[in-house]
Structure formats: C-alpha cells, structure tokens
Structure 1
Amino acid sequence: MVTRAFHDLTAELLAVLEDRTITERDVKIERVTKLIDQRDGLLSQIKPPFTAEEQQLGRAVLLLNQQVDHLLKLQKQEIKRDIQEINKKKKSSNKYTNPYESLSVDGVFYDKRN
C-alpha cells in the first residue's frame, strides 16, 4: 500500500532529523534529501478514493509533516548562522592580512607652484 510506505518514509525522515548521534551534517543532509526524494516519488502515486485506514494514515502523516517542517526550519537556521559566522571570520581575516584594502581616496592635491 502506497499510503503505508509514505507514512513509514515520513516517520523515518523525522527520526533522522531528530537523531543527535549523527555528527556529520553532510551525512544527515544526504539522508534527508534521499528520503524526501523517495517521498516525492510516492506522493504522486497517492490517489483517492481512500479507505478508512488510508485516511487515518493520512492524518498521522499530516502530524508528522508538521514536526518534519519545524525540524527542517531549525536545520536551515543553523546552516544559515554557520554561513554568516564563516563570512564574518573571512572578512575579519582579510582585514587583518590587508588592513589598507578598504581605504578610499577621496581627493587629490595638486601643487601649482612653478
């Protein structure tokens, strides 16, 4: 049953997002992306009419999706914060290595003595 498989993939996705033992962000992102792609493939196969069991699974999936969305937003904010921190470090490092780079010349003085 497609609805059951979709529910199981959603539950697995939530488990991966909640898993604190995965320390490598790249590994976690790769697993999440793979699960989302698999869910997308199944989503197109879900078509009405739905049995009572499928409707119940659908409601459960909606609740799981809310949690998944929240955790994905937190992950995005964490990545965004890390990128900003890296850019800030890069900028301060550049100022240290070349302190006169940001100076601008506003005018020029001409001496007219002959």
Structure 2
Amino acid sequence: MDAVEVIYDKTLALQKSISEYQKEARDETIEQIQSLLAERGEWMKKLPVSYSAEQKALGKKIVELNQVINPGLRSIRDDIRNDLIMLKRKRKTSHRYRNPYQGPPVDGMFLDKKE
C-alpha cells in the first residue's frame, strides 16, 4: 500500500468521524480526529515526487473529500467556541448574582461614596 492510498483511507476515516460527530461524545471524537490528522500529515511527508494515473485519481478524490471535511471541522470548532462563550456568560452572570454591588452599575445609577 503506497502513501496516497493510506492518505485516502485516513481521509475517509476522518470524513466518517466528522459525519458521526455528536456533542455528547465530543472529547472522544476530537481525539480521534486529531490522531487521524496527525497520521495523515506524517504520510503526506512520504508522498512520492511523481504520481501514476491511479494516484492522481485518488488525489482528486482526496481533494473532494477535503472540501467536505473542512466545513465539518469548522462547524465543530464553532460549536466549541459557542460553548465557551456560553460558559463565560454563565460565570459572569453567576458572579454578578453573588456580588450585585461589585463592578459598574448596570442601570446607569451613580452612588456617591463621599456621603
């Protein structure tokens, strides 16, 4: 099995992992995606200088799969980013609830501390 075939197999596995992504099993999926990307990157370093007709056809399929994989990776990234934003909002809200007089007033009211 040459490098192009291995890269194609890794790309198919990557596409399958992304298509089966579920938020509940996000950590396992991300670990699997990272390992597949790392393995695929290592095999890309071993690519030959010239390609046969079969290897060129597989290369075109890999490029097509990458066009499906990239939006999937972006949606996973956006999902994580949204969760982080929501977590920060929850922390800020709970902090304001516990300490309502700390920080700037929300309603524009000014309290004079000199009196």
TM-score (normalizing by structure 2): 0.87
Distance change (3 Å), C-alpha of 1:21 and 1:108? closer
Tell whether the 8 Å contact from 2:14 to 2:36 is kept in structure 1 after alignment.
Answer: yes
Following the alignment from structure 2 to structure 1, what is the Cα–Cα distance between the partners of residues 101 and 23? Answer: 43
Match of 2:77 in 1: 76
Q: Percent identity?
A: 24
Match of 2:52 in 1: 51
Match of 2:93 in 1: 92
Cα RMSD (Å): 2.0
Tell whether the 8 Å contact from 1:22 to 1:28 is kept in structure 2 after alignment.
Answer: no
Match of 2:64 in 1: 63
Distance change (3 Å), C-alpha of 1:48 and 1:100? same
Following the alignment from structure 2 to structure 1, what is the Cα–Cα distance between the partners of residues 24 and 114? Answer: 59
Cα deviation per residue 1:25-54 (whole Å; 9 max; x = unaligned)?
Answer: 110000000000000000011122100000
Shift of 1:103: 3.7
Match of 2:102 in 1: 101
TM-score (normalizing by structure 1): 0.88
Amino acid at match of 1:69: N
Q: Structure 1 residue runs of 4+, over 2 Å off?
A: 20-23, 103-110
If you compute each CA radius of gyration, which structure gives the higher value, 1 or 2? Answer: 1
Distance change (3 Å), C-alpha of 1:61 and 1:97? same
Aligned length: 110
Match of 1:32 in 2: 33
Distance change (3 Å), C-alpha of 1:63 and 1:2? same
Shift of 1:108: 5.8
Q: Give the unaligned 5+ runs of structure 1.
A: none
Match of 2:7 in 1: 6
Amino acid at match of 2:35: K
Distance change (3 Å), C-alpha of 1:108 and 1:96? closer
Q: Give the unaligned 5+ runs of structure 2.
A: none
Shift of 1:14: 0.4
